[in-house]
Structure 1
Amino acid sequence: MPMRSVVMGLLVESWYLGRPVPDIAHPSRGGVDGRRPGSWADAPYDDVARLALALPGAAEGTSRGWRVWQVAGRQFVWERPFTQADLRRSGDDPVPGGPILAAAVEDLGEKEAVLAAHRGTHFTIPHLDGYAAVLMRLDAVGDGTLAETVEDAWLARAPRGVAEDHRAS
């Protein structure tokens, strides 16, 4: 039977290792989803790592304790848990559960096109208004869409020559 804990007014089930979710939702204590960086929930991000690191010049690192993937020092995909500020901005609107990945896009026009093409898996939040990135629900996206999103994000941030060489191959 899963244990339950209330985090920022949200009911979160703690089925991993039978441990309760931390009572305080703060990135250094596990973020709103109750997960600490490097914990049990890394499995979906391992798929992201496999796809991202297969691209030329890609490297994995961390930022604020969360996994990020970069090319030429620029993040193209990264873990993006919801913060307390995100929850306040969402008001009464529900926020998606599960692991969330942020992915760079070429520009705001492409952002709108991606959001329209991938309703239900890709979304945005007020914090990203005016920023060329989308969020993706990893537990709801298929392997093909995940691979396409990661590669498109890499193309959006890779140096022009490297991206052109990759497209040509």
Structure 2
Amino acid sequence: MVDEHDVRRIALSLPETTEKSSYGTPGFRVKDRLFARIREEGDVLVLFCADEGEKRGLVDAEPHKFFTTPHYDGYPLVLVRFEAIDVAELTELLTDSWRLRAPKRLVSDFDG
């Protein structure tokens, strides 16, 4: 299980990431584009997906880990339960979301 400290540490280790409140909770941005946010519950993370198809695939494959709410219908955002993932998976999920939101040149430099 991960916690807010893990999210913050991993997110801020990604290039040009800053923390800025989003809807009153910790949000993480790359070049001022939100890529992750801890929800009000404190144990759920909001992340970007490539598209709604990917979101649906994640939710259908592992509903104990990934879910959504009507608020996120129509958006490529998925919710992740802290209790269902470990640090390695959190790192992968945050990095994937960061890649989707970061400028292409920054992603290229990161992959360099």
TM range (shorter): 0.7 to 0.9
Stretches of structure 2 lacking an aligned partner (at least 5 in a row): none
Q: 1:59-98 CA deviation, whole Å, 9 max, x = no partner? A: 111123210000011110101126xxxxxxxxxxxxxxx6
1:159 aligns with: 103
Q: What letter corresponds to residue 54 of structure 1 in structure 2?
A: S
In structure 2, the CA distance between the partners of 1:114 and 1:161, relative to structure 1 (3 Å rule), is farther
Alignment match, 1:53? 12
The list of structure 1 runs, each at least 4 consecutive aligned residues, that deviate by more than 6 angstroms after superposition, is: none
The TM-score normalised by the length of structure 2 is: 0.88
| Greater gyration radius | 1
- Percent identity (aligned): 36
* Residue 55 of structure 1: how far off its partner (Å): 0.6
Residue in 1 that maps onto 2:45: 101
Instruction: Name 2:62's counterpart in structure 1.
Output: 118
Query: CA RMSD, aligned part only?
Result: 1.8
Match of 1:65 in 2: 24
Q: CA deviation at 1:58?
A: 0.6
User: Per chain length, whose mean CA-contact separation is higher, i.e. which structure has more relative contact order (CA < 8 Å, sep 6+)?
Assistant: 2
Q: Residues 85-131 of structure 1: CA distance to partner in whole angstroms, max 9, x if unpaired?
A: xxxxxxxxxxxxx6111011122122123324433111111110110
Q: What secondary structure sits across from 1:76 in the alignment?
A: strand
Alpha-carbon spacing, 1:164–1:115, altered in 2? closer, same or farther (3 Å): farther
> CA separation of 1:130/1:101 partners in 2, compared to 1, >3 Å: closer, same or farther?
same
Distance 1:117 1:53 in 2: 29
CA distance in 2, matches of 1:60, 1:117: 31
- Higher helix fraction: Structure 1 or Structure 2? 2
TM-score, normalising length: structure 1: 0.60
